[in-house]
Amino acid sequence: MKTKTPRESYTEITEMVLPNDTNPLGNLMGGQLLHLMDIAAAIAAGRHSNRVCVTASVDFVDFKGPIKLGEVVIISASVTRAFTTSMEVKLWVFAENTLTGVRRECNSAYYTFVAVDQGGQPIPVNKLKPETPEEQELYEGALRRRELRLILAGRRSPEEVNTLKDLLQQRVEQS
């Protein structure tokens, strides 16, 4: 099992918004954007794990403003933390008007991917070691976000998470 950095999974995809991708107002359809985000996240998770990865969950996604026909969408993705078989991937979405050269941030989101074998069963992934202070912050926050999404998915009870937190705290204090 290797230890990799977020940089090694960094992925950027750039697409022009075409008429087929838009609603009657000429704005990029939300589902189309989610599709592109899913692809960028899958590539990042695949680069980190060198495995086939499936989307396990998508956190709350907020569409702050429209992305217009003819604009360019830039999506970047990076693994923020690897757990046992799952990875949290952060996505940043930008829109660029190539006529003005102005680029604006549109939204960000977290996806969870799970590495699977040929039978679709989860398999362990490479570890992740953050390098920069920003990556460290995302790495630490990933644990809290994971707890929350597992509670929301009905996979953990809040009591169970508190017990795990207490155990973790005890370990930190003992080390």
Ligand X SMILES: CC(C)(COP(=O)(O)OP(=O)(O)OC[C@H]1O[C@@H](n2cnc3c(N)ncnc32)[C@H](O)[C@@H]1OP(=O)(O)O)[C@@H](O)C(=O)NCCC(=O)NCCS
Positions touching ligand X (CB under 6 A) are: 54-57, 83-86, 112, 114, 116, 120, 122, 149-150, 153, 155
The least distance separating ligand X from the CB of residue 69, rounded to whole angstroms, comes to 28
Select the residue whose beta carbon is closest to ligand X and give its number.
Answer: 83
Which C-beta is closer to ligand X: that of 6 or that of 71?
6
User: What is the smallest separation between the CB atom of 149 and ligand X, expressed in angstroms?
Assistant: 5
Smallest gap from residue 76 Cβ to ligand X (A) = 21
Closer residue to ligand X in complex, CB, 24/154: 154
Q: At what angle do helices 133-152 and 158-174 cross, to 10 degrees?
A: 150
φ, ψ at 149 (rounded to 5°): -70, -30
Nearer to ligand X, 47 or 68 (CB): 47
- Distance separating alpha carbons of residues 90 and 141, to the nearest angstrom: 11
Comparison of 61 and 116: residue with beta carbon closer to ligand X = 116
Kindly state the smallest distance separating residue 53's Cβ from ligand X, in Å. Answer: 9
| Cβ-based nearer residue to ligand X, 31 or 120 | 120
Kindly state the smallest distance separating residue 62's Cβ from ligand X, in Å: 19
Distance (Å) of CA 45 to CA 9, 40, 125, 143:
7, 9, 10, 17
Between 66 and 122, CB nearer to ligand X: 122
Q: How far apart are CA 16 and CA 27, in angstroms?
A: 12
Closest CA to 113 of 105, 97, 125, 128: 125
Min dist CB 112 to ligand X, Å, is 4
Which residue do the tokens 């930190």 mark?
A: 172
Q: What is the CA radius of gyration of the chain?
A: 18
The structure tokens 């660029």 sit at 96
- 3-state SS, residue 161: helix
